[in-house]
Chain A
Amino acid sequence: MTDISPPKGRGALARREARLAWGLLFPTIAIVALVVIVPLLAIFWISFKPVTLGDLRPAEIRTRVALRERGDQALLELRVINPSREQEMTKAALNVTLPEGVALTGDLPQGCAMDGQDLSCDFGTLEAGANERFRVDAQVNGDTREAERAMRDAEVTATGHVSNVLTNSTFTLDNFRQLFSGSEFWSVLGITLFYTVFGTLGALVVGLFAALLLNKSFRGQGILRGLYLFPYVAPVIAVAFTWITLFDPYSGSANALLVQMGVSEGAINFFGAKPLALIMVTVFEIWRYFPLSFLFILARMQSIDTDMYEAADMDGASPFQKFWYLSMPQLLGILSVLFLLRFIWTFNKFDDIFLLTGGNAGTRVLTVNVYEQAFAVSNIGAGAAVAVVIFACLLVFSGLFFRTMSREEGL
């Protein structure tokens, strides 16, 4: 008797489908792993290492071999330099073939040996910044000038090993200690929070206002909608420099206008004075990203059922009541998702502040701090430590985000 029951487990078809799925996903997974996961691991690794910008290019041994004449005596001069100022160089060695007619008569330096015309030297370990010179008496048969020139052209192969801070096993907690001990970190964190919270809320509120304006059909609605998206679509570098031009303390139109209108006495340094610069970059953030929230809120508004409003009209609800008791609950989902996403993105924002103030005048947020530490102070380890802190914050935020997201799967 054959057993008639539903199949158990995964059948051949399901397995084949899964295989195909992984096959289709593989290229994406591979490339994302390579460029996202590996750098993330790398940044953790680097944050525990004393790396500076200079360490990226490992030090190489420098040598010079020359034939000289002192009085009647020819000399072979060897110079060996370890250019690294911090690290010793191990296994420093040199190899050169002397030109024909040149013979060494003096004592060879320690570690050197002649084999026919080949001179090979092994210097062992060179101290940091070592600059050593050896002289050996030599004898030249034939034209000395010729021999000197030939010596100059002779190919010298030199090797030396400087341990690379990136790959060796030196670890340090200094980056983090330095980061958390200074008062700077906490002020940077405070500035980041101010920028993020007000930038996000501002963009959301302004976006909601714009969406309410455009949530009715009239002639020119499409044009206005396109126009209001401009700040978001234009390249950040273009609009940031435009704002700098507009608010320039000497030749900016905004200042000239304020002076003329009698609002301010003299020129205001919008992006250079302390509390104002932070407010200005936050305003810029709101200006640049309100289109995005407006677009999302508008899309959600237009999908709200109109029956509900008709029913509310019948019941005599006033416009504000309709907005507050009907629209807002419907929009709450998209607003909370937008808030969290924008919050994360504003927190991660780098370009805007970097271009507007370069992180000066009290606008240094965490992301700009990564750049400052890594490139301006050229302490890559410290920059990586800041990046790790950013990443930790991000994990917390995205945990929150996915909680909200699962409730609001509608996005």
Chain B
Amino acid sequence: MKILHKGYLTGPIIGALWALVMSVTLGVAISFATGAAAKPALIGSLILGLATGFARVRIANRWAADAVAVIVALALMAVGLGALQFDDSFNFVWRVALSVVLAGAVSIPLNSILRELRFGALTRHQFEDAVIRFLTGFGYIFFTAIVVIPFYVMVMTSMKSQQQLMLNPLDFSIDLSRGWHLFDSYYELMTQFHFGRYLWTSFYVSVLTVLLTLLFSVPGAYAVARLRFRGQKVFSRGILLIYMVPMIVLALPIYIAYSMVGLRNSILGIVMIYPVTTIPVALYMLQGYFRGLPVEVEEAGLMDGLSRLKVIWKITLPLALPAMASVGLYVFMIAWNEFLLAFMLLDDPSKFTLTRGIASLNSSEIPRQHLMAGAVIATVPIMALFLGLERFMTRGLTAGAVKG
């Protein structure tokens, strides 16, 4: 590593790597935006990055680096070695413009990544800071891409028609001129596939699950957190152990039992089983929160003559409202997203939950955009809830240890 602590090595190497990242990013972005090919090329990217990085540490002036980047990018393009290889659908103006954009995308961030580097020997700090800045830039692009692209694909596919999908899978644009016809798939799902009903079923099943879960887990969590009794330790461990039991192991006997007593294909059966899968998590999260509440407030209540249950009702619960909101949201999310039990226990289309309804769309006879529209319908409500109440949700997730 020591060998690399030289400005004239670090600069060009980081420059080359960054240019590679940028040309791939830009190439993918252009392909998705236009459906035409803009191939990132290894050699061209490396040359562009090396030159820009070298210029940045040698001249130590940001404008100089920008100028070098633009000149090198255009020169490479002229000799056919450009960092982006365009196909024939791009005319000359476009090629020049995109090359300049690429040069900017390489040199402007590179200017700040390499900002403290001198041409000669570097201190360990300077070197590592530059590497970290490079990794940070790469990280933001990487993570944003891997998260945004699938979700964008989901929305975009749901708004296309069958021919558009087959025509060019690379075309990521949404044809706004179709107006309301963009939502044809949604309309069909709602009218012909009863998604309105599934949405409603999912909603009330989730709400009931949240209520039942809180009803059972709040007293239990309070007991584990506050009251002294034999087996308290074993109990709080036992809760965690239970929520590690894989669902599929339980689903099989539950399926058998439900088949025998006739609870399959009934919402009642689902509402009975969902809370049980969430009670252990909720109990675990809530007891952690109850432990954090000041015990003195409750003791004051006890001294003033309230009974234990009254203390819980009048003092602890109002204090624990935010925690209950977090837990409730988390449980809602689990119930809303639940797939396995709904899939195994529900066969009757009139009783489907949303996830089960989407699973029924996965057949070769039903067009892809319907499936994706279904996915969007299931995702949007939970996302809206999540974004609106992100603070609660994040706390709920962190408190909830790790639920698969």
Contact = CB atoms under 8 A, between A and B. Distances in A.
A237 interface: yes
Nearest to A299: B398
A78 interface: no
B119 interface: no
A243 interface: yes
A229 to B, nearest CB: 7
A42 B148 CA distance: 44
A309 interface: no
Contacts of B153: 242, 245-246, 253
Contacts of A17: 227-229, 308
Interface in B303-351: 308-309, 333, 336-337, 339-340
A42 B257 contact: yes
Contact of A341 (B254, B374, B402): B402
Interface in A36-86: 36, 38-40, 42-43, 46, 56-57
Given A233-B386, A253-B170, A257-B170, A36 B397 contact: no
Interface residues of B, number: 102
A213 B146 CA distance: 15
Given A32-B279, A36-B242, A390 B249 contact: yes
Given A17-B228, A20-B227, A25-B223, A380 B383 contact: no
A287 B246 CA distance: 21
B257 A228 contact: no
Given A234-B382, A390-B249, A411-B401, A245 B157 contact: yes
A232 B398 CA distance: 13
B228 A18 contact: yes
B252 A25 contact: no
Interface in A306-328: 318-320
A296 B31 contact: no
A27 interface: yes
B247 interface: yes
Contact of A24 (B136, B223, B237, B279): B223
Given A17-B228, A42-B257, A348 B248 contact: yes
A246 B150 contact: yes
A35 B355 contact: no
B235 interface: yes
B339 A236 contact: yes
B32 A253 contact: yes
Interface stretch (B45-53, B102-110, B161-169, B178-186): B161-169
Contacts of B28: 257
B268 interface: no
Interface SS of chain B: helix
Q: Categorize the interface residue count of chain A.
A: 35 or more
Interface in A352-403: 354-355, 367, 370-371, 374, 380, 383-384, 387, 390-391, 394, 397-398, 401-402
Contacts of B333: 233
B367 to A, nearest CB: 11
A269 interface: no
Nearest to A387: B249
Contacts of B61: none
B247 A348 contact: yes
Given A235-B378, A242-B153, A228 B147 contact: yes
Contacts of A171: none
A275 interface: no
Interface in B230-288: 230, 232, 235, 237, 240-242, 244-250, 252-254, 256-257, 259-260, 273, 275-276, 279-280, 283
A292 B136 CA distance: 20
Contacts of A346: 404
B276 A391 contact: no
Contact of B386 (A213, A226, A289, A411): A226
Contacts of B144: 224, 227
Contacts of A345: 244, 402-404
Nearest to B276: A35
B139 A229 contact: no
Identify which of B132, B217, B223, B254 gathers the most chain A CB atoms within 10 Å of its CB.
Answer: B223
Nearest to B254: A39
Contacts of A230: 147, 151, 383
Interface in A270-305: 287, 289, 292, 295-296, 299
Contact of B383 (A234, A245, A253): A234
Contacts of B280: 32
Given A24-B220, A25-B223, A213-B143, A245 B248 contact: no
B175 interface: no
Interface string B112-145: 0000000000001100110010001001100110
B223 A210 contact: no
B245 A260 contact: no
A235 B280 CA distance: 21
Contacts of A260: 31, 37, 39, 170
A370 B246 CA distance: 11
Interface string A200-244: 000000000110110000000010111111111111111101110
A364 to B, nearest CB: 13
Nearest to B167: A251
A394 B246 contact: yes
Contacts of B390: 222, 226
A235 to B, nearest CB: 4
A92 interface: no
A14 interface: yes
A20 B378 CA distance: 42
Contacts of A210: 139, 143
Nearest to B387: A226
B342 to A, nearest CB: 10
Contacts of A384: 252-253
B40 interface: yes
Contacts of A226: 386-387, 390
Contacts of B241: 398, 402
A262 interface: yes
B36 to A, nearest CB: 9
A256 B169 contact: yes
A4 interface: no
A355 B129 CA distance: 43
B276 A32 contact: yes
Contacts of A402: 237, 241
A383 B37 contact: no
A135 interface: no
A277 B240 CA distance: 32
Nearest to A283: B146
B70 to A, nearest CB: 24
B289 interface: no
Contact of B244 (A40, A351, A398): A398
B248 A229 contact: no
14 contacts: A25-B219, A39-B257, A42-B257, A56-B259, A209-B139, A212-B139, A213-B143, A227-B144, A231-B147, A234-B382, A245-B368, A248-B169, A255-B169, A341-B401
Given A234-B379, A253-B170, A384-B253, 7 more contacts: A17-B228, A21-B229, A31-B276, A36-B250, A210-B143, A241-B372, A257-B32
- Across the A-B interface, the 10 shortest Cβ-Cβ residue pairs: A348-B246, A238-B375, A345-B404, A39-B253, A18-B229, A21-B227, A24-B219, A42-B253, A28-B220, A24-B223
